[in-house]
Each structure stands twice: as C-alpha cells, then as structure tokens.
Amino acid sequence: MSDKKPSGLEDVVVAESSICYIDGKRGQLVYRGYDIDDLVENASFEEVAWLLWNGKLPSQTELSGLRAQLADAMVLPPQLVALLRDLPHNAAPMRVLSIATAALGTLDTQADEMTPAANLAKAIRLTAQLPLVTTTWHRLRHGLEPIEPQRDQSLAWNFLYGMNGQTPDDYAVETFDAALILHADHELNASTFSARVTAATLSDLHSAVTSAIGTLKGPLHGGANEAVMKMLEEIGTLENVEPYIEKMLANKGKVMGFGHRVYKAKDPRAKILERMSQELGQRAGDTKWFEMTRAVEARFQPVVEAKGIFPNVDFYSASAYQVMGIPRDLFTPIFACSRVVGWCAHLMEQYANNRIFRPSSEYTGEMGLKYTPIESR
C-alpha cells in the first residue's frame, strides 16, 4: 500500500476536456478559449450555451435558430405540471428540481436516444425547462398559477418575469444573465464529475443531469450561496459585521462564501458579481446587502489571505439575488439552471470518447476474520 493517502481526488486528473480551463493561482476562468470577463462583457447566456456545446461562438443564423428552439421548449408537459401541483408546498426546491428532471426524462420521446443530435436536442430542452420548473414551482407553492414565458425574450428575462409576472428591470436582467454565464461551467467540479460518472455507464442524459442536481444540492457545493445569504441575515446590520466576525473567529467558525478547492486568488466570478451587485443595489436604492458583504470581506480577508483563501462566486451572488427579490431557497436551483449548460457539454464530450470510471480505494479494514455462528456472538 502507498504512503500517500489522497483525499477527495485533489489534483488527480481523471479526464481530458476542451470545455473549461481554470488557472487557480492567477484567478482565471476560460470557456472554450474565451476569458470569462470577455464573455460576460460581450456575450449572452444563449451564446455561451452554444459555445460550450459546439466549441465555437454562433453565427447570427445559428443564434437565432437556438433561441427559436429554446422558445419552443419553454413549455412543461401537463403531466409534469400536475405532478408539481401534488407535491408538498414545503418541499425543498432542489429536491423538486431533481424529481422534475427525472420526470422529464420519462416524458421525453428522445430520452434513450444516444446520438449526438438527440443529446444536443435534449440539452436545449433541459436548458429551457429547468428555469420554467423553478419558477412554476415557486408560484404553485404560494398558491399562484404559473406564468407563460414570452417567446421573444431571453432565458434570464423570462426567469425574472416568471417569478412575479412583472416586467424586470433591464439592469437586473443584465446582471442575472451575467450570473448565468458565470455559473455555466467550472471544469470538473463535484456535480459535473457526478454527471460524467453516470454518463460513463452509458446511462441517458436526463439521468446524468439528475445525478448532477443531487450533487449540487449539497451545502459544500451549490448550497453555499444560500448559506452566504443566511449568514448576512443573521448579521442583520452593517454595524453588526465586526462583532459577528469576531465571534466567528473566536469560535473557529467558517465565514460562508470564502475559499475554493481550486482558486488560490480571488475568484474571477466574484470580482464581476461584486461590481454588478453594487450597481444593482445602487439602482434599486438598497445597498444594505452589498455593503454588509463588502464589510465582511474587509474584516475577514486579511485573516485568511496568507492561507490562499479568498471570496468565491457564492459570496457576492447572494446580495445580488437578494436585491432582485429572489428567495434564498431558489439560489441553488438558479445555479442548476445555469450549470445544466455545462453539464450537458461535458456529457456530450463524455459520450463521444467514453470509458467507464472505476477508481480504487485503499482498504483499511481487518483481514483474516472467520465466521462465527449467530448464537455464539
């Protein structure tokens, strides 16, 4: 047996991919060769989806075609809506999203077709359907009827509109679209790895995405953004930041939204969302959540910077979503609505060059035991 005992597959390369590159030391994130700052500044989420799936930016004709396909797919089967109506209204939205994704697999006539064209078609449908599941569930649990999407609007616009039926503010749409781009992929994170492991058995795309959603649900992965907002709510006021962090440090507690397995510099996604969260708060006349978030960073960052711990993408997304009026328990479903694009890109890449994953573990149990009759134990 080896002396080295790796934990969590850290620094273990398990696949080759042309989808996403991360330089953790420099704080750089790249999709298909394009720096994330360039994409957020110039591209739409729909363009980024095409880029991740096809390896190149779309032409105007290709983008128009994709938007038409997404618009066609922005409808939920009546059987699924009936299922959502029957679920307990206190069900966790991520659990509902998992159930709905599995159900969509049973209702999709191409679910078990494994051709590249069929998998791309399913990716497009899921990208349109998961946001609609989220907003539909949000309204149903509050006794409200779902709102029909507007075909001529973007996925970001329709998500915000689908929550309350009000035309969303232009900058809120821009910020939400940027958040979708920022969360669209992140190399071989836990949920993407989970999806690829499922796909490697040649299970179908819906099953693999369901696996990914279950993985994203965990508080150490997608659920971290909800934990940041919970922390801010506990702090309550800007004046309470200092004593809250002091108490946290004294008790050796964890400040949510800090630290990342890969980044040893400030997460580039956090830098972008920091700027947009500030602007969003100023436009809305509600800077409380941004100011509290920045104060937490100012107090805590000097304590942990030498350890290579910096704010991650969850840190500033929480205050941005709060100002947009998005409930805390929808933060992680939004993550899934974005990351489904990246999951599907990885799944199609896995199917194209597949080998089943079969790692080994280092056995630490006993040996040489002999069976003892039950009456003698």
The whole-model pTM stands at 0.94
Catalytic residue ranges: 260, 314
Q: In terms of domains, do 239 and 154 share one?
A: no
d(C-alpha 102, C-alpha 114), whole Å: 17
Q: In terms of domains, do 146 and 194 share one?
A: yes
In a domain, 172, yes or no: yes
pLDDT of residue 199: 98
Q: In terms of domains, do 284 and 342 share one?
A: no
Q: What domain count does the chain have? A: 2
In a domain, 363, yes or no: no
**Can you give the CATH number for the domain in which 166 is found?**
1.10.580.10
Q: What domain range includes position 314?
A: 224-323
**Binned average pLDDT, 10 residues per bin, the chain of 377 residues:** 62 90 93 98 98 98 98 98 97 97 97 97 98 98 97 97 95 96 96 97 98 93 87 95 92 85 87 94 94 94 86 90 94 97 98 94 94 95
pLDDT of residue 2: 47
Q: In terms of domains, do 57 and 121 share one?
A: yes
In the structure encoding, which two tokens stand for residue 352, read together? 């194209």
pLDDT of residue 3: 56
Q: In terms of domains, do 128 and 261 share one?
A: no
Q: In terms of domains, do 279 and 189 share one?
A: no
In a domain, 15, yes or no: no
Structural contact between residues 192 and 343, judged by C-beta atoms closer than 8 angstroms: yes
pLDDT of residue 168: 96
> Residues in the chain, how many?
377
In a domain, 368, yes or no: no
In a domain, 12, yes or no: no
Q: In terms of domains, do 281 and 196 share one?
A: no
Closest CA to 240 of 290, 300, 294, 296: 296
In a domain, 158, yes or no: yes
d(C-alpha 195, C-alpha 38), whole Å: 28
**Can you give the CATH number for the domain in which 249 is found?**
1.10.230.10
